[in-house]
Structure 1
């Protein structure tokens, strides 16, 4: 791993031997034109990780480089980069929000990233320990027949390294967001929810409440951006944090996560749908209604009962997430996260069989016995999500589809144990 990291640093230094010049185009585009200081954290990390991933950086190294660069950025006086207040911005009843110009502040961040990379290339630091748990992610997403792609996802096995968290166990974060009415809310959640989660004091002692506060805070942050920029989108979301032997899942809306243990699906959550009896009662108690317009909808509009954004229908469309926690016993195969574009066409009980079939199809047909099991997990597991997406589309889904599988043990082991057990039945 150290050799791979050193090799990347050498390539990066060759491409960026000095700071980016004022006025030169940025090598990667910022997500926004203007950001608050709080939004700067998530947007800078997203920008840096995107830049490094496009150049083949090892994920662990990317996380450490971006954290170091962000830390240096926040030590600077950023007041010269504040946006001038425009006429009509100020309202007496609300405090003025200080906005930063994204391009110059992200140029400064990227220059800090280049500085850190140059320094590490000359004096390579002590490498961090490798994660103790096997985690391999297979993800695939398609626009399908929809006019726009409004799904977003994030796989962050290096959660601790990115945020400098010292904990008893490794933390890994995975999330799928399904936007509607535009992609803005989904993009915002994919950029900021994990940052908000990392700042929760109860993250290690009470992950459920930390997750719920992080969702709530992200929704509040997006409310400010939506008001400033006149955005109207919303997004469901499901996020998983694997923290040592503990798996926590938090969700808003009808995106879902399921756990598969020794070939059997384990229910982790109950998705929020308008016709779910407790959701229907909650909405009616608030004075709203559930009506059927092609599908069950809140006040005849949104087909989800909880989501980030959708501020024109708050509090009927709630921003309060639910969370559940499961202890990992060591015999788990994988956790699957997907949007409703997948689960509208595939029942959770079908997932283990579909994944096993996809794993078998991923094995080189010319390999037999031990040779087949010796293929790398990258080769065997990478195409599994793609095959699940194709199955959902063939089964009739016309929506955006995103599927993410986080393997908790090597795919070859799943083939060897689960596959054998099913043959014996």
Structure 2
């Protein structure tokens, strides 16, 4: 795992501190470090749920990113080779319901945390060697509930995608996403845990990431609709994903969460959000027998203000799960990406967002730590009362953005 002595020392030090903090193997009645937000899991959710539980727990202790990805992968591989049938719940199947066997998510989480503990113990004795990954994209993230009663946003940061999925390729890959739930947080949680897993398992992933992203969105939607039927959930989520492979940026999205590229200090439009007042979306909905009407804002059948989403079973096919995607070659002149939900974009325009980032970098000598906080604050101050999530992904050294002659 460690590419040099200094990094190996850092990793070993983390493992020592982490094992000291973690309790011995969790027993049946011991509280969990993190409680799953869903009560039941189907077999196709196991890998994504395991990776998420591991990463969340490790990041709570400030685990180095590459080590967290490797530990999560090793733990998931071990779990996937385990007979999980003892954790299955036998439920009465209602007429027409999906008869998939389901797992008790609390018992499953206990198994995951205990297996993570075992993996850390083994690695402290003998740290596996892996190729040192390339430098990560520097990121700044901030998310707030704001004036809403509940926080229904979720976000995903995977700067070391290759390690998390044990992909042996020369090109660096990274995945960033924002999901904005409505009617509850279940769809956003599901998408945040499962979409990247569904992506990497697509046959087209290695050759055509754009197509794989669209297929992953569709599969995630189809599987969540089944889950919603089994568990009587009535919610949905928009989503925007950026997938970086080498010098190519892939963007895929459903709904009105958006990503913007900044190149040499100028905002570049990458996508058009799916809203009911878009003429092509309005025509699609009306062709299916639905309608778009004004009710405070333009809404599908007088209800939802987005025209595409994961979930929202009762509003399909008008609210469809077909993602759009775009591909952008990168030439090194790109500064950063801003991914955010509509709680940000509804009150902050692209030029204002660029100004906020530029001012912050100038005032802080290129330090990016609080960039996302400043952007969230600008949306709140401009009147946003919605949940707000912002991710800023720097595509080159932030110091070179404010000092163009530096780092050339």
TM range (shorter): over 0.9
Could you tell me the TM-score, scaled by structure 1's length?
0.91
For 2:144 and 2:82, locate their aligned partners in 1 and report how far apart those are by CA, in whole Å: 40
- Relative distance call for 1:38 and 1:303 in structure 2 (3 A) is same
Structure 2 residue 94 is the aligned partner of structure 1 residue 111: no
For 2:87 and 2:385, locate their aligned partners in 1 and report how far apart those are by CA, in whole Å: 44
Displacement of 1:62 in angstroms is 0.9
Aligned residue for 1:77? 83
For 2:128 and 2:228, locate their aligned partners in 1 and report how far apart those are by CA, in whole Å: 42
Deviates more, 1:139-148 or 1:232-241: 139-148
Aligned residue for 2:41? 35
Structure 2 residue 389 is the aligned partner of structure 1 residue 387: no
For 2:276 and 2:198, locate their aligned partners in 1 and report how far apart those are by CA, in whole Å: 27
For 1:190 and 1:329, locate their aligned partners in 2 and report how far apart those are by CA, in whole Å: 29
Query: What's the CA shift string for 1:69-116, capped at 9, x where partnerless?
Result: 111112121112110223xx143x565210011122222222221111
Displacement of 1:44 in angstroms is 1.2
For 2:206 and 2:384, locate their aligned partners in 1 and report how far apart those are by CA, in whole Å: 38
Aligned residue for 2:3? none
Structure 2 residue 390 is the aligned partner of structure 1 residue 403: yes
Query: What's the CA shift string for 1:3-46, capped at 9, x where partnerless?
Result: 21110111122234743233322222123221011111111111
For 1:384 and 1:257, locate their aligned partners in 2 and report how far apart those are by CA, in whole Å: 16
- Give 1:6-17 correspondences, 5 Å limit: 6-16=12-22
Q: Which runs of 5+ in 2 are unaligned?
A: 1-6
Aligned residue for 2:8? 2
Query: What's the CA shift string for 1:246-268, capped at 9, x where partnerless?
Result: 10010001111011111111111
Instruction: Classify the secondary structure of the residue corresponding to 1:270.
Output: coil
Aligned residue for 2:102? 99
Instruction: Classify the secondary structure of the residue corresponding to 2:70.
Output: helix
- Give 1:159-238 correspondences, 5 Å limit: 159-238=161-240
* Paired positions, count: 400
Runs of 4+ in 1 over 6 A off after TM superposition: none
Query: What's the CA shift string for 1:269-304, capped at 9, x where partnerless?
Result: 111110001001111111111100000000111000
User: Is contact 2:19–2:120 with CA below 8 Å preserved after alignment?
Assistant: yes
Q: Which runs of 5+ in 1 are unaligned?
A: 364-371, 374-379, 420-425
User: Is contact 1:152–1:190 with CA below 8 Å preserved after alignment?
Assistant: yes
User: Is contact 1:255–1:340 with CA below 8 Å preserved after alignment?
Assistant: yes
Query: What's the CA shift string for 1:89-145, capped at 9, x where partnerless?
Result: 143x5652100111222222222211111111001111431224x511111111222
Aligned residue for 2:287? 285
Displacement of 1:160 in angstroms is 1.2
Instruction: Classify the secondary structure of the residue corresponding to 2:216.
Output: helix
User: Is contact 1:342–1:402 with CA below 8 Å preserved after alignment?
Assistant: yes
Aligned residue for 1:317? 319
- Give 1:368-387 correspondences, 5 Å limit: 372=365, 380-387=367-374
Could you tell me the TM-score, scaled by structure 2's length?
0.94
